[in-house]
Chain A
Amino acid sequence: MRIRVVALLVVALVAAPVISLLWRVPWSRMSSLLTEEVVTDAISLSLISSVLAAVVALTLGVPVALLLSRMEGVLASITRALMMLPMVLPPVVGGAALLFAFGRRGTLGAALEEVSGLVLPYSLAGVVLANAFVALPFVVLTIEGSLRTLDPRFELAAASLGANQFHTTVKVVLPMVRSSLIAAGFLAWARALGEFGATITFAGNVPGKTQTLPLAVFVAMETDQEAALVMSVVLILVSLVVLLTMRDRWWPSR
């Protein structure tokens, strides 16, 4: 009984800020604000970049998860800790680190600009890179976890039927952890959608190019709070829809 009371209080504690925010939303201005160019740009940019980031994080995360799930010992722990860093680091630090590597004066970024003329900061590619960077740990963690619960003899069985490692991975291993791939994709997408610090630090804040919803909210908080509230509502709604959609995959349903 007491536990129930405490639990309800905690739920209320989480719900209170969200409800207070909704309370302040200028519903009468909703439609006119939602059609402002800055807002529509931010919404579409956020949707595009977060989906791309999830795809990139998934593509990069799967090989790492496969590798880690087969490694043991100190080297595995070090590699795993390294892969988890972007999850623990303040995103701003992650963004700064990205800047030092892939920025215009960064070790790799300068070379990249020299060779291909490609500049990652202030571009959609930069947003996707920053978002994928912070989302990658969620992908690796989720997929490695379920790979480790997979009976390794399935790989043996596939090999005994003549399948090489790539064939085994694509036809047997990955399909068998399919639900965790989906969960990892959703998690990465959700993390990317809410990403702020790494994005503004690395990709900058160019309206229509790198100004995602969280960045637009940040700017609007100082200029037009009502616009900020409207964009926050969009973020809350999208997040809730996704959380409800993936609930059966993320925690066991009854």
Chain B
Amino acid sequence: MTEFVDILLPELTDRYPGLQVQINIAGSGTLVNQIVEGADADVVLLAGANHMARLQAENAFLPPVPIARNSLTVVVSSNLAESVTTISDLRDAGLQGAVCVPGAPCGELAVAFARAVNLDLSNATREPNVKAVLSKVVRGEVDYGFVYRSDALMAANEVKAIEAEGLDSFTTSYSLALKNSDEVSVSFLEVVTQSKVSRVLEELGFLSR
């Protein structure tokens, strides 16, 4: 979602010259923790329904608006592109995997999927976020990793995605919540929900909401 925000933010600053936007990037769970402990934010963009639900329970933000969805994908490092092509190839005990930490939506999806296909992930390293998983696969530090479709697309030259039936049904949703309905916040909501954005999202590998 970082790239997504990077692409759209100029549109907002065009509308409001001189507007200072401070961005705090962290895992969704961490963001919610920070806000619960008193961090100040006008707009929050989260992955995963459970984190948004936790935020909503605090009654500090307006009801969320869905922005996009992302589906789970397995990528393997380029040197294994030939030998590892299916999920059952991943069961090779010698392979080192990486998934997101359990608190992150990507981690929860991976664990759910692994349970569904009976894949043992206990030896996989739990990385703080999906970018860390991807970079480990890109650098060959791990053999495979569970990432999002958007991440796999972005690194298509360096990793290979594995096709597997049912993977795309494991999705997470991104939603945006505003603290106040002030003019700038609402404008930001407009920017990220305008119709042409769906094409941007698609190019980045996201699914439409």
Contact = CB atoms under 8 A, between A and B. Distances in A.
Task: Say whether A associates with B.
Answer: yes
A103 B125 contact: no
B96 interface: yes
Contact of B30 (A99, A206, A222): A222
A210 B141 CA distance: 15
B143 to A, nearest CB: 9
B104 interface: yes
Interface in A199-221: 200, 204-211, 218-219, 221
Interface string A93-105: 0000001000111
B125 A210 contact: yes
Residue among A207, A210, A211 with most chain B CB within 10 A: A207
Contacts of B179: none
B140 A104 contact: yes
Interface in B133-152: 136, 139-142
Contacts of A207: 122, 126
Contact of B125 (A119, A206, A222): A206
Contacts of B30: 221-222
A208 B103 contact: no
A122 interface: yes
A204 B122 contact: no
Q: Which secondary structure characterizes the binding site on chain A?
A: loop
A132 B103 CA distance: 29
A211 B127 CA distance: 11
A116 interface: no
B33 interface: yes
Contacts, number: 65
B141 A222 contact: no
B33 A99 contact: no
User: Chain A interface residue count: which class?
Assistant: 20 to 34
Contacts of A205: 101, 125-128
B101 A219 contact: yes
A185 interface: no
B81 interface: no
A216 B126 CA distance: 10
B125 A204 contact: yes
A208 B126 CA distance: 11
Given A221-B29, A222-B101, A206 B124 contact: yes
Given A218-B101, A221-B103, 18 more contacts: A103-B139, A104-B96, A105-B140, A122-B125, A200-B127, A200-B128, A204-B126, A204-B142, A205-B125, A206-B123, A206-B124, A207-B122, A210-B125, A219-B126, A221-B33, A222-B30, A222-B33, A222-B101
Interface of A: 99, 103-105, 119, 121-122, 200, 204-211, 218-219, 221-223, 225
7 contacts: A121-B141, A205-B127, A208-B122, A211-B126, A219-B103, A222-B30, A222-B101
Interface of B: 27, 29-30, 33, 96, 98, 101-104, 122-128, 136, 139-142
